[in-house]
A and B are shown apart, each in its own frame.
Chain A
Amino acid sequence: MKSKNITLIVLGIFFLLFPFIIRSEYYQHLVIIALMWVVIGSSWNLLAGYTGQVSFGHAIFFGVGAYTAGIFVTKLEISAWWGMLFGGFAAMLIALFVGWVCFRLRGPYFALATLAGSEIIRLVATNWESLTDGMVGILIIQSFRSKLPYYYIVLGLAAACIYAIHLVIKSKWGYYFVSIREDQDAAESLGINTTLYKNISLLISAFFAGSAGAFYMNYMAFIDPHVVFSLHYISIMAILVGIVGGVATIMGPAVGAFVMVGVQETFRSAFFGIAPRWISEAHALVFGLLVIFVIMFMANGIVGDWGKIRRVLLRSRPSA
């Protein structure tokens, strides 16, 4: 318990001082993106990892959050930063509808329904041009030129998200979520209103994903439906972050986010320019291989199987 607290304090100090240690804007940018993925991955993990409702459509909530922030500027002419709060609420509103429809289904059918949902909303955003400007996208003016404010805002959001999920999991709700994951019929017969608690889990999850989407709008200053409602870049990436880091662990998605953003960037930049250009085309392939590796050898992810990983590393040391 004590050593865990010390680790947390050291990590906290490191992240608070990070932009002063690493002055390169490029690396600061990568860490900002990774922290945003910490939020999306953690929110996915609450619903899929703890409550057992695997979502293939987290882009719905991310995109709705991003568009809420964008539309605040283009239509209401108020700051996109309001989206950090109201984008979350808008995502919750959509989540109510998604839950109403999709929670009639269980297991893989639920996953497929969320997948369909994200495609539907992408098409809606593409075609509802009067509201979203369609494929033209939304372009806003960034509030800050320095990376620093963005860094601290997303750091705060990530910390708040992890802490909130930690509190939820340690509460009665947490027991209920995990019971539903383990056996929905048993949970129901134990007096747990499974429909209600699945929706609560979805709403909390949607809020943080929406909030992360609003941050993305503020930070990148440009969105279009193919980016923020993307199956590949958002929904699947959220799942990868969760699986690689470790489902149903508090810190899993946080670790997964840094690993996945690291892998993605390494390949996108073709090993930071060292490798031939075509390598960057292969990053989807590498994602696939990584998932196969994780599922075969550490099904509980990096955090969930940390004990196992450490044993393997320690065993290989004397021979090396």
Chain B
Amino acid sequence: MPLLELKKLVKDFGGLKAVNEVSFQVEKGEILGLIGPNGSGKTTIFNCINNFYPITKGDVIFKGKSIKGLKPHKVCHLGIGRTFQVVKPLARMTVLENVTASAFCRFNTIREAQKEAVRILEFCNLDNSKEKLAKSLPIGSRKRLEIARALATRPDLILLDETAAGLNPSELDEAIDLIRRIRESGITILIVEHIMKLIMSISDRIHAINFGQTIAEGSPKEVANNPAVIEAYLGEEYARS
């Protein structure tokens, strides 16, 4: 049984079909990369999975049960953590408070939640910035704070939305390392990313979409050589040659 399954997911905004009958499965323990050009519906799929947007048609199955229509906080309690492409730090709280607030998802007392938060911050190499206000962090650390917050809710599946965008090369290596370590800790990952170096090197499988529709799925190598994918990214001419 796959951990997460999308069944012919449709989401339209008025006349625009942002996501049109996309189906895929995420197996337990794998890293599935979701790629596609700008505006192809990747973030919309994330927002449908944790129900920020109500689904128009289709279904989302998590651990064998439909999570369609559940409030986002319920989805989180079931074990899906997410990060946001446009980071949403709780600006006027410290880094530790940010992560503690989300650790309350699994722990009830402040002491336990804080202990968990400290552990997560060490895992994400953020323990040096514990007492800083979230708004004072540079973008690289903000992206890691997003991941730390999602991890603190003890998810089985984590949705990473462009966590490497805007990072410099050394931060990028750190991010790749962090994502690998998250997988090693037993968490399944669904990742949206534009940076090919990252997505090609860490994904087990890749699912490519364009204009809200699936165009390819397979190993990173297969997808990279798929004419439809090359066309979507580089234009028709390159696909033909």
Q: Could you tell me which A residues sit within 8 Å of B by CB distance?
A: 170-172, 175-176, 178-179, 182-183, 185-194
Contact = CB atoms under 8 A, between A and B. Distances in A.
Contacts of B92: 178, 182
Size class of B's contact patch? 20 to 34
Given A179-B90, A182-B92, A182-B93, A190 B101 contact: yes
Contacts of A186: 84, 88-90, 149
Interface in B62-121: 71-73, 76-77, 81-82, 84, 88-93, 97, 100-102, 104-105, 108-110, 113
B52 interface: yes
A178 B93 CA distance: 8
B110 A192 contact: no
B213 interface: no
Contacts of B101: 175-176, 178-179, 187, 190, 192
Nearest to A175: B101
A171 B101 CA distance: 10
- Max chain B CB contacts within 10 Å: which of A171, A186, A192? A186
A189 B158 CA distance: 12
B97 A192 contact: no
A185 B43 CA distance: 15
12 contacts: A172-B104, A172-B109, A175-B97, A178-B90, A178-B97, A182-B91, A185-B52, A185-B72, A185-B88, A189-B52, A190-B153, A194-B73
Contact of B50 (A178, A179, A189, A192): A189
Nearest to A179: B101
Contact of B76 (A170, A175, A190): A190
Contact of B77 (A172, A175, A176, A191): A191
Contacts of B72: 185, 188-189
Contacts of B108: 172
Contact of A188 (B71, B149, B152): B71
Contacts of B81: 189
Nearest to B107: A172
A179 B76 contact: no
Contacts of A182: 89-93
A191 B90 contact: no
Contact of A172 (B71, B113, B153): B113
B230 to A, nearest CB: 34
B187 to A, nearest CB: 16
A156 to B, nearest CB: 28
5 cross-chain pairs, A with B, having the tightest CB-CB distances, nearest first: A191-B76, A191-B105, A182-B90, A186-B88, A190-B102
A188 B90 CA distance: 12
Contacts of A179: 90, 93, 101
A187 B150 CA distance: 11
Given A172-B104, A175-B101, A185-B88, A190 B149 contact: yes
Given A183-B89, A189-B82, 6 more contacts: A176-B104, A185-B52, A187-B90, A189-B72, A190-B73, A192-B73
Contacts of B105: 190-192
Nearest to B104: A172
A92 to B, nearest CB: 23
B121 to A, nearest CB: 15
Contacts of A189: 50, 52, 72-73, 76, 81-82, 84, 150
Nearest to A190: B102
Nearest to B91: A182
A181 to B, nearest CB: 8
B11 to A, nearest CB: 17
A111 B82 CA distance: 30
Interface string B194-211: 000000000000000000
Nearest to B99: A190
Nearest to A178: B93
B78 to A, nearest CB: 9
Most chain B C-beta atoms within 10 Å of own C-beta, residue among A170, A188, A189, A192: A189
A192 B92 CA distance: 18
Contacts of B76: 188-191
A194 B150 CA distance: 17
A185 B77 CA distance: 15
A207 to B, nearest CB: 24
A175 B50 contact: no
Contact of B104 (A175, A188, A194): A175
B93 A191 contact: no
Contacts of B90: 178-179, 182-183, 186-187
B157 to A, nearest CB: 13
